[in-house]
Structure 1
Amino acid sequence: MSRDPQHAYNSAWQLRGDAWCRLDEAADRLTRTTTTGELKDEYVGVCQGLLATLAPLEPYWAYPGTPQFAKVQRQFAAGHYDKFAHAVARINRALTTESYRSGEVDTAGMDDTDMFPADPRTLEQHPVGTTEDLYFEVLVVEKMTEAQERALRKEVRSWRRPDDQFRYELVIVASGDEALIAARLNVNLQAVVIRRRFSHQSTRDLTSLADFVDTRVSEELDDHKSPDERAQILAESLRELRPELDMYLMTEIDVEQIAGRLGPFFRRVFHAREGVLELHLSILQGVAERYRTPFFSALKQYSHRPTGVFHALPISQGKSIVNSHWIKDMVGFYGLDVFMAETSATCGGLDSLLEPTGPLRDAQQLAAEAYGSRHTYFVTNGTSTANKIVTQSLVAPGDIVLLDRNCHQSHHYGMMMAGANVVYLEAYPLADYTMYGAIPLHEIKSKLLALKAAGKLDRVKMMSLTNCTFDGIVYDVERVMEECLAIKPDLVFLWDEAWFAFARFHPVYRGRTAMAAARNLRDRLKSDEYRREYETDFAPSASDAELLGRRLRPDPATARVRVYATQSTHKTLTSLRQGSMIHVFDQDFEQKVAEAFHEAYMAHTSTSPNYQILASLDLGRRQVALEGVELVQRQIENAMQLRDAIDNHPLLSKYMECLRTSDLIPDAYRDSHIAQPLRSGLRNMMTAWENDEFVLDPSRITLSIGRTGYDGDTFKREQLMDRHGVQINKTSRNTVLFMTNIGTTRSSVAFLVEVLVKIAGELDEGIGEMGLGERGRFEQKVRSLTTSSAAMPNFSGFHEVFRDHSGAEPTPEGDVRRAFYLSYDDTNCEYLTGDEVFDKLDNGIDVVSATFVTPYPPGFPVLVPGQVFSREILTFIRDLDTPEIHGYKPEFGYRVYTQKAIEMCGPVLAPTGGQAASRGGEAEPIVEPGPAPLVLTQTVPSGLAPDHEPESGVSDEPASAGAKSGTVTRKARSQRERGGD
């Protein structure tokens, strides 16, 4: 699809960088002696067009700066093409190599106002090659003359000292709308200084930057408001856009009163005539705080200390290696530092992961600030462990949990260990591609309302969803939580963001992350405006059908925002393998969860954690706190360039196609009805991400390959991995998934395009040489991959003996734990082949899975313990293209329960609603009518129960007399809240 060249880019920095490279090439051609006549006129036109492209962008970067760019324009206009070409080559070289960051730029022919000079004293303090990483830019918002700008830059430079850890330059804009443009475009910005005198709207022509102009803020910043009000509005808007930026205010009057009023919006408030040096030092200190890595620094310091180890870990400081005759190559491969930092010590400044009080605690607090959470916890065994920690800390036996059926298997195991009664939520199917999408809000609300009708809403504790899905489908997180809290005001949310940790650091993505949505929702519920909206919108007599069809609002008086997110830092950001984080934004965490969370954390965390993983999490946090915006923008741009390279290539587009948003998200879930939001401009992306129920993460490229005649797994193994060394994770029947990340380079994108072109070229040549019969078989294979749809089964349901039959209406939840442990007695189980299962189903006999059956990838179970087989599920598994299916043994078949075992199982009699409702830290005893809330009252036949008591303390024995009477003591409830006996 042809597009305007400006819209071929989705990041202005990439457009700018490529424009300078093209300008350098065109200017060089222009000055060659062989370039004459029409050819010379052609290159003059090219240079003129590229200068016009760069002109609106350059004011928002410190290098080369507006004066130097204006000088380049003057040289070109005057026809001094040699000088023009030399200046462009110098600037482009500095931008391409990023030498401008360290001041190592050829300054011949330039005056000191054109660009910032190198400070030789600073260069002496740092090794060559490191200072460019310690450069940043500061945005100053104030109307100034050119002379005033030069004076301010000179004054700031005068405060530099040889031992400064960082160096920075200024970007100066005169208006609020341009400040927002600069924040969107310039990824080098780390701080903003707002002064009193700035206009609300630019006098420049911003037509070419329309995608980046926020007219709503411009209207709010009108001149009728006081300078203080305008400064506050601009600061709030900039913080919403770039929350990592440090905000400073400079004012001339009433600085003490203004600091009291506007202090929450700014890091510091300064007097304009007195505070320049202090401002300079504060800017450096603010960046230094984000640069600080408490645990990594402590580990580095430890590695330089001589120690005597007399307890464990022979590898500590490399001692068992450097003295070895046979494994010294280990040092050669890994380097010595990794072993010098190896320790099992929890003292001497290194801190303990289980009870952090020093640098590790500080590192986690810095991570919480960077990710927008109230608390952040490091995990060294991946997000699988993080999910189990959160689940065990929140869910007790008998609690009902709404769970994404297609979630990662770790959630299913977490439900089993916690003893939850699980209600599985169904995602919409994408049968053409043999994959599932996400779970519609209608499906979620219908399950909650059904549980409410059955009188079980008080037992519903948590809902867990995957955001974003493996294939890149992203929820409207805030709306999901808002509408669910309207039905269940204390519902807890666990968002599995294993593949979405990077999203915090992009202004459009951020609003659809768990932590940002939780904070926004909390703030809205506290506002007077929301309270008025709720009172107007509240409909107490609405039927369930009406509630399903309308947007619901939670009662601000009762709703509690309780949100958890688990993220695989190692998957999408910088960390060693298995480095993950748990982020918490729970208003009731300290009161209701902290102790249980600590116990769950202790239960699942090693007492010998890998300190290198912890240090890498600390460093990864530093990276995104200082350059996350830049890295994520580059990631998205690389993905879009890959899409364009495939879809616009005549040979590749013949056999392959990048699926669009409209291919993966049905129109019913896209109010914007934009088929390709990002490809049609940033503004359209923002519109879709603000309004649509689901959106597509543009960094995921699902490539349809059905026309190649290869199924996904064969294409992955035989073509990509075995022949070309291209690693991918997920495939489906007729697609493969490519994901860009913050480590993806343009060269790696180019390599992938080369590989795909080679595959397509060989395929095209092979098809041209096929005989008639061979051609027919190939076309039949293509038809089977492109026209027929695979069976996409829903969750078939738990067998009746594992279902909860209490309540006014039947509901689908099942006891996964009981079904799981039933299989521990081998006499209860047998193996059946797929054909044998089909035969039983044909004869009307239920077949019940005794284990989890999980194709990998994508890694979610299609069968869980206690689930009834269906023909659709068997067909789905049989047609899968992945050879790795956990829980299925090709030589034996499926492990299922015998009919005798099922017949001997009694139905589940679940605890009454008082059990779930009573947890929460109340001090007084409660009285509950009905059966004992802690007891499964069915009698399990001998040989069917596990050999040990469940760790949660749920007993299979009859209740005590006290429990039967309905009285629960304070001690018993306290034990139950901790999940103990």
Structure 2
Amino acid sequence: MNIIAILRPESVFYKQEPIRELDEALKGQGFQLVYPTSSDDLLKLLEQNPRIAGVIFDWDQDSLDLCIEVNEINEYLPLYAFISSQSSLDVSLNDMRMVLYFFEYGLAAAADISNRIVQYTAEYIDTITPPLTKALFNYVKEGKYTFCTPGHMAGTAYQKSPVGSLFYDFFGANTLKADVSISVTELGSLLDHSGPHLEAEEYIARTFGAEQSYMVTNGTSTSNKIVGMYASAAGSTVLIDRNCHKSLTHLLMMSNIVPIYLRPIRNPYGILGGIPKRQFTRENIAARVAATPGASWPTHAVITNSTYDGLLYNTRYIKETLDVPSIHFDSAWVPYTNFHPIYQGKSGMSGERLPGKVIFETQSTHKLLAAFSQASLIHIKGDYDERTFNEAYMMHTTTSPNYAIVASIETAAAMVRGKSGRRLITRSIERALHFRREVQRLRQESEGWFFDIWQPDIIEEAVCWPIEPGAPWHGFRDADEDHMYLDPVKVTILTPGMDEAGVMQEEGIPAALVAKFLDERGVVVEKTGPYNLLFLFSIGIDKTKAMSLLRGLTEFKRSYDLNLRISNMLPSLYAEAPDFYRTMRIQDLAQGIHRLIKRHHLPELMLRAFDILPEMKMTPHEAFQQQVRGNVETVELPDMIGRISANMLLPYPPGVPVVMPGEMITAQSRAVLDFLLMLCSIGVHYPGFETDIHGAELTEDGRYLVRVLRDGQTENR
């Protein structure tokens, strides 16, 4: 970061000559100088170029107004104001809080001024760099010789092998030098929470509005298990969102606890609308406890916030209503909610602590912030036993953490702090809103059909849109007032074929076709439903990527309307089954899949499948113990009726468990199996559209095999 922006002063010699001398002196110190032509150019330059490390300007020409505008972009950026003997310094005490330095115009002063700018630039970099990252950078610069792990020794080993040299050149020297041993004492300890690691946790907690934060290097899958292992003793009962990540099912398999599932509502598109308010009440929980064998009053609750499709809860209602000692919000998909006012009251860490309750929130820092994969955070608000919690933490944390991942967690936090962080999130929201409006515009201008977008009819300002009871756009039949809100950065595109009420149209374009078309053109969809596609407008999405997606959608419409051959429009799909797709055209394929979905009455089937859960014959923990003992056998998916599932079954889409370990599909819950079979039937009829069902094995001849407990294996509670 050695770029300085200089706004040239007015064309008078006593000002121009000192700046010319300073230009030479700064270049001699290794700085790159850029000269915006106006204050407006400067501000645009700063917004687009975060590597600029300082601004030099004439105080009489631009004065305090420019400082305030720059400060709104980056409050830590050094400002260097040149003054003359006639300059008026009207600066308040509050204004002096800005990083503002004054220099007088004078000849032969450039060397001294440039030295000061070098010093202030170093202070700026030191200020914005968080503690652990700073310590890691310094350690790498020192270049110490170590006789400990890892064995590649800062990359030296790689350079002794041809293929190793390729690896070294690809990842770069600093990446490998930063892969250090836990034995490096000056970096502290991730497990003992000491030194720079402790400073990093405190820094992150302040940033995210938590009382305590923990860094986790194996994803939020691990963070969820850590919280669950601490909060749920063996034999206890836990309330758990049925729309849970599979890591929480694995927690239930690991820990001998009794789950009581809270069931979210669902609309005809397959979008989950959250758990209704009534399910959080004490009366409902008491009835569920009484109806669940082996259950006692719950000690802990786990709620998914936000849902996969971007719906956020009014978390205050849940915190105040749920009568349990601790609540865990699995917020893997929304690590940014503390950094913009539209998310106020919609995150686990929002608001003050509640007496007698501890709130946990887990976040995948890598998903929608700028951290490496597997970077995750645990936030805590409320009183808890730190030593016991740390035992659960160490139980799931490696003794050889990757320090680059750890540093990326802290850096992601540093990026969203302050005004510059607020601007990052604001820009993300603005890009999503602009994209939404462009889709609306194209839909109005297009001849025939075009894609729709799942949102209210009017989206004028940046807000989280409420899922209001009776509003037709969202399609939820039992929505509650002031309960769920749609995050604008989670953009769901709708394809023709079904309306929000679940009425199937005569013709349709299944979303999987659009997803395959976009993938051919380098655009990857986050999630694909029957007639909807989810796109995440994270802080890393710029206008170029948004326009590429918009262009891909318009190209699909053009190609579809021309009714191109599959071989031309979807060459990868054609390559999977050339004989099947040799003469087929895109409209034939779309209508064939659409008729198949329509014949199975997908909207009704999907609602029924999630209305009556399979019967829990034993806990997931007990079912897994039977599996470990070998008391399992393999059957085909259609033969699951009346058998206890050994594994979780999770079709993708929609990406949530439909069968948990220890559950049995009965005649009453037959719709669950019918839903799975319907998804499978698409792949049977159309190669390349096989459904991915986690927990089931797809054979080469198209059969789905699942593991069930042997007959006679029952619960031992």
Q: What TM-score comes out, normalization by structure 2 length?
A: 0.74
1:819, CA displacement in angstroms? 1.8
1:441 to 267, 277, 280: 277
Q: Distance in 2 between matches of 1:872 and 1:154?
A: 67
Higher Cα Rg: structure 1 or 2?
Answer: 1
Q: Distance in 1 between matches of 2:182 and 2:585?
A: 70
Q: Distance in 1 between matches of 2:188 and 2:90?
A: 48
Maintained 8 Å contact 1:855/1:882: no
Partner of 2:440: 647
1:749, CA displacement in angstroms? 0.9
What SS does the corresponding residue of 1:855 show, helix, strand or coil? strand
Q: Distance in 2 between matches of 1:634 and 1:887?
A: 40
Q: Deviations over 1:56-101 (max 9, x none)?
A: xxxxxxx99xxxxxxxxxxxxxxxxxxxxxxx97444333322899
Q: Distance in 1 between matches of 2:493 and 2:119?
A: 44
User: Given residue 823 of structure 1, which amino acid in structure 2 is its aligned partner?
Assistant: Q
Partner of 1:888: 696
2:363 to 567, 592, 613: 567
Partner of 2:622: 818
Identical residues among aligned pairs (%): 26
What are the residue-to-residue correspondences of 1:804-953 with 2, within 5 Å?
815-826=619-630, 828-837=631-640, 841=641, 846-869=642-665, 870-880=669-679, 883-891=691-699, 893-902=705-714, 905-906=715-716, 908=717
User: Given residue 715 of structure 1, which amino acid in structure 2 is its aligned partner?
Assistant: V
1:656, CA displacement in angstroms? 0.9
1:579 to 375, 382, 385: 375
Change in 2 beyond 3 A, CA 1:569/1:652: farther
User: Given residue 623 of structure 1, which amino acid in structure 2 is its aligned partner?
Assistant: M
Change in 2 beyond 3 A, CA 1:784/1:136: farther
Partner of 1:720: 518
**Does residue 1:474 correspond to 2:474, yes or no?**
no
Q: Distance in 1 between matches of 2:134 and 2:365?
A: 20
Maintained 8 Å contact 1:398/1:459: no
1:858, CA displacement in angstroms? 4.8
User: Can you give the 5+ residue segments of structure 2 that lack an aligned partner in the other structure?
Assistant: 1-5, 8-35, 68-72, 80-86, 104-112, 459-464, 475-479, 498-506, 567-582, 680-688
Partner of 2:453: 658
Q: Distance in 2 between matches of 1:773 and 1:308?
A: 64
Partner of 1:794: 610
Q: Distance in 2 between matches of 1:776 and 1:318?
A: 55
1:860, CA displacement in angstroms? 2.7
Partner of 2:415: 623
1:633 to 419, 426, 444: 426
Maintained 8 Å contact 2:617/2:664: no
**Does residue 1:333 correspond to 2:170, yes or no?**
yes
**Does residue 1:608 correspond to 2:400, yes or no?**
yes
Maintained 8 Å contact 2:216/2:377: yes
Partner of 2:297: 459
Maintained 8 Å contact 2:509/2:590: no
Q: Distance in 2 between matches of 1:505 and 1:753?
A: 28
Query: What is the RMSD computed on CA atoms of the aligned residues?
Result: 4.1
Q: Deviations over 1:91-136 (max 9, x none)?
A: 44333322899698898xx8824347999xxxxxxxxxxx989527
Q: Distance in 1 between matches of 2:147 and 2:596?
A: 66
Partner of 1:408: 245
User: Given residue 895 of structure 1, which amino acid in structure 2 is its aligned partner?
Assistant: R
What are the residue-to-residue correspondences of 1:528-567 with 2, within 5 Å?
559-567=355-363
Partner of 1:930: none
1:427, CA displacement in angstroms? 0.8
Partner of 1:737: 534
What SS does the corresponding residue of 1:317 show, helix, strand or coil? coil
User: Given residue 693 of structure 1, which amino acid in structure 2 is its aligned partner?
Assistant: H
Change in 2 beyond 3 A, CA 1:136/1:468: farther
What SS does the corresponding residue of 1:346 show, helix, strand or coil? coil
What are the residue-to-residue correspondences of 1:53-64 with 2, within 5 Å?
none
What SS does the corresponding residue of 1:564 show, helix, strand or coil? strand
Q: Distance in 2 between matches of 1:618 and 1:884?
A: 35
Partner of 2:563: 766
Q: Deviations over 1:495-551 (max 9, x none)?
A: 00000101110112032110113x2x53xxxxxxxxxxxxxxxxxxxxxxxxxxxxx
Partner of 2:187: 350
Maintained 8 Å contact 1:434/1:790: no
Q: Distance in 1 between matches of 2:213 and 2:356?
A: 20
Q: Deviations over 1:373-393 (max 9, x none)?
A: 111000000000000000001
Partner of 2:574: none
Q: Distance in 2 between matches of 1:498 and 1:331?
A: 32
Change in 2 beyond 3 A, CA 1:155/1:703: closer
What are the residue-to-residue correspondences of 1:379-418 with 2, within 5 Å?
379-418=216-255
Maintained 8 Å contact 1:315/1:342: no
Change in 2 beyond 3 A, CA 1:370/1:674: farther
User: Given residue 894 of structure 1, which amino acid in structure 2 is its aligned partner?
Assistant: V
User: Given residue 233 of structure 2, which amino acid in structure 1 is its aligned partner?
Assistant: A
Partner of 1:597: 389
Partner of 1:508: 342
User: Given residue 133 of structure 2, which amino acid in structure 1 is its aligned partner?
Assistant: F
Q: Distance in 2 between matches of 1:763 and 1:700?
A: 26
User: Given residue 46 of structure 2, which amino acid in structure 1 is its aligned partner?
Assistant: E
Change in 2 beyond 3 A, CA 1:136/1:776: same
Q: Deviations over 1:682-723 (max 9, x none)?
A: xxxxxxxx972111011011111135944233322x2111x2
Q: Distance in 2 between matches of 1:357 and 1:726?
A: 43
Maintained 8 Å contact 2:328/2:360: yes
**Does residue 1:364 correspond to 2:154, yes or no?**
no
Maintained 8 Å contact 1:724/1:755: yes
Change in 2 beyond 3 A, CA 1:515/1:672: farther
User: Given residue 637 of structure 2, which amino acid in structure 1 is its aligned partner?
Assistant: G
Partner of 2:486: 696
What SS does the corresponding residue of 2:185 show, helix, strand or coil? coil
Change in 2 beyond 3 A, CA 1:747/1:306: closer
User: Given residue 494 of structure 1, which amino acid in structure 2 is its aligned partner?
Assistant: H
Change in 2 beyond 3 A, CA 1:695/1:784: farther
Q: Distance in 2 between matches of 1:641 and 1:654?
A: 21
User: Given residue 654 of structure 1, which amino acid in structure 2 is its aligned partner?
Assistant: W
Q: Deviations over 1:284-321 (max 9, x none)?
A: 99x98962411111111211234333333221211102
Maintained 8 Å contact 1:398/1:420: yes
Please say which of residues 646-655 and 298-307 is displaced more in the overlay: 646-655
**Does residue 1:97 correspond to 2:45, yes or no?**
yes
What are the residue-to-residue correspondences of 1:313-328 with 2, within 5 Å?
313-328=150-165
User: Given residue 531 of structure 2, which amino acid in structure 1 is its aligned partner?
Assistant: N
Q: Distance in 2 between matches of 1:491 and 1:154?
A: 47
Q: Distance in 1 between matches of 2:593 and 2:215?
A: 48
Change in 2 beyond 3 A, CA 1:473/1:514: same
Maintained 8 Å contact 2:182/2:401: no
What SS does the corresponding residue of 1:706 show, helix, strand or coil? coil
Partner of 2:501: none
Partner of 1:189: none
Change in 2 beyond 3 A, CA 1:457/1:441: farther
Change in 2 beyond 3 A, CA 1:668/1:158: closer
Q: Distance in 2 between matches of 1:103 and 1:887?
A: 52
1:746 to 535, 539, 543: 543
Partner of 1:49: none
User: Given residue 791 of structure 1, which amino acid in structure 2 is its aligned partner?
Assistant: L
User: Given residue 628 of structure 2, which amino acid in structure 1 is its aligned partner?
Assistant: Y
Please say which of residues 643-652 and 874-883 is displaced more in the overlay: 874-883
Maintained 8 Å contact 1:387/1:496: yes
Q: Distance in 1 between matches of 2:363 and 2:375?
A: 9
Q: Distance in 1 between matches of 2:626 and 2:565?
A: 58
Q: Distance in 1 between matches of 2:551 and 2:708?
A: 48
Partner of 1:10: none
Q: Deviations over 1:473-503 (max 9, x none)?
A: 111101111112xxx2x43100000001011
User: Can you give the 5+ residue segments of structure 1 that lack an aligned partner in the other structure?
Assistant: 1-62, 65-87, 120-130, 138-145, 169-283, 523-558, 677-689, 803-814, 909-981
User: Given residue 309 of structure 2, which amino acid in structure 1 is its aligned partner?
Assistant: D
